Amino acid sequence: MVIRARAPLRLGLAGGGTDVSAYSDAFGGAILNATINKFAYVTLTPLQLPQIIIKCHDINEHHVFNNVNDFDLNDKHLILIKGIHNRIRKEFNIQKPMFYQLETYVDAPPGSGLGSSSTLIVTIVAAFAEWLGLPLGDYDLAHLAYSIERDDLGLSGGKQDQYAATFGGFNFMEFYSDRVLVNPLRVKQNYIYELEFSLIQYHTGTSRLSSKIIDAQVHNVSSNCTKSIDAMHSLKSLAFNMKESLLKGKLNDIGELLNESWISKKNTADEVSNDVIDEIYDIAMKNGSLGGKMSGAGGGGYMMFYVQNGYLYHLIKVLNEFGGMVERVTFYERGVLTWKTQC
């Protein structure tokens, strides 16, 4: 028997950063995001031999561990998988050793800003749940993935990625100190098609360590930095405005709201942008974009632009001259999936 799992990556459309606990615990956060046609994939094969075999095909890692019950988390190599293994055993009181081969692949590189690490955790946890018959609903799965990443492993970040990967589709999410609410949006299909046509992603060719940016944002909020907190308030308000524009099909407003969001985002921490990113953004705005933003925390990875009618192919040509990679956007409506096969 082989267990497979797949979960989609996401685009953060508005409100990014307000899901980080330093802000959401104090003020409540709000985010609008949507999952896209890029995925994290997992194949889990139970083994009879006393081994754990891990193959991360996208980063060319292949490791064999013999006679392991629990991993030493002081060894940070493959820390996500090790943390998941340990937490699953502890959370569900699994006494007997778990031996398996785990293969992973993600359609976007680490540091892309598309939530790849958190999505991979959701996918692996879902594969274990399918194998072991664990009683996890959608909220349970997302919260467990979040807790592993933030509590067990101490990795900085917010909450939206785990919930986006689990639920899938267009969602308006609210974050509080004691709960998360996921509100699926019924967006008309022709609005989605037009949004797909008008959005482009541009990979800068660089990645970034989101934890450094998020740590700076947390510091600014915790130290009552007025500029940063006001910027977070603005990002949250813009998420509500973006939701209304999307549901009403006022798509050009989305471009303008993206631009407002990017201005506010840069005020949350100095590390969000740099001279290269600012130059690309300015060029895009002068060549047909109504607005855009960095995906995720910022600092590198993917940029996203909403392009006004008639300028799409011109802007693609202009951005290609910067040496990065332009991609079209396709949304994906489902969340994490698991299935068993004999193949």
Give the DSSP letter of residue 246: H
Residue pair 80/120 in contact (Cβ under 8 Å)? The answer is yes
pLDDT band at 264 (very low <50, low <70, confident <90, very high): confident
Q: Are residues 155 and 33 in the same domain?
A: yes
Q: How far is CA 100 from the centre of its chain?
A: 27
Q: Region 30-54: what's the mean pLDDT?
A: 97
The structure tokens 């994939």 sit at: 41
pLDDT band at 324 (very low <50, low <70, confident <90, very high): confident
| Number of domains composing the chain | 2
Domain assignment present for residue 338? The answer is no
Half-sphere exposure of 177 (CA within 13 A, CB side): 5
Domain end (from 186, 218, 253) = 186
Q: 217 with 269: CB under 8 angstroms?
A: yes
Cα 247 from Cα 86, distance rounded (Å): 42
Domain-terminating residue out of 166, 186, 206: 186
Asked whether residue 279 carries a pLDDT value surpassing 60, the answer given is: yes
Residue 9 falls within a domain, yes or no?
Answer: yes
- Mean pLDDT across 320-335: 92
Note whether 242 and 202 are same-domain residues: yes
pLDDT tens-digit series, residues 190-215: 999 999 999 999 988 765 555 566 66
Task: Quote the tokens at residue 17.
Answer: 């950063």
Same domain, 78 and 179: yes
Helices vs. strands in the chain: H and E counts, helices first: 11, 12
What residues make up the domain containing 227?
189-328
DSSP run (H or E) holding 142: helix 138-147
The reply to whether 343 falls in a domain is no
For strands 289-294 and 100-106, give the pairing: unpaired
CATH number at residue 54: 3.30.230.10
215 is catalytic: no
Identify whether 49 is part of a domain.
yes
Tell whether the model's pLDDT for residue 10 goes beyond 90. yes
DSSP 292: E
Q: How far apart are the first and last CA of the chain?
A: 8
User: Residue 210: its pLDDT value, please?
Assistant: 54
Indicate if 117 and 223 belong to the same structural domain.
no
Amino acid type, 65: F
C-beta separation of 71 from 16 below 8 A: no
Q: Say if residue 300 is in the same domain as residue 180.
A: no
User: What pLDDT does 339 receive?
Assistant: 97
Q: Tell whether 151 and 79 lie within a shared domain.
A: yes
Question: Could you read off the pLDDT of 126-180 as tens digits, one per residue?
Answer: 999 999 999 999 999 999 999 999 999 999 889 999 999 999 999 999 999 999 9
Using the CB atoms, write b or e for 49-61: b if 16+ within 10 Å: eeebbbebebeee
One of 19, 161, 215, 253 is an active-site residue; which one? Answer: 161
Q: What is the reported pLDDT for 214?
A: 67
pLDDT, mean of residues 210-225: 66
| 215 assigned to some structural domain | yes
Strand, helix or coil for residue 12: strand
Q: What is the pLDDT of residues 88-109, one digit of tens each?
A: 999 999 999 999 999 999 999 8
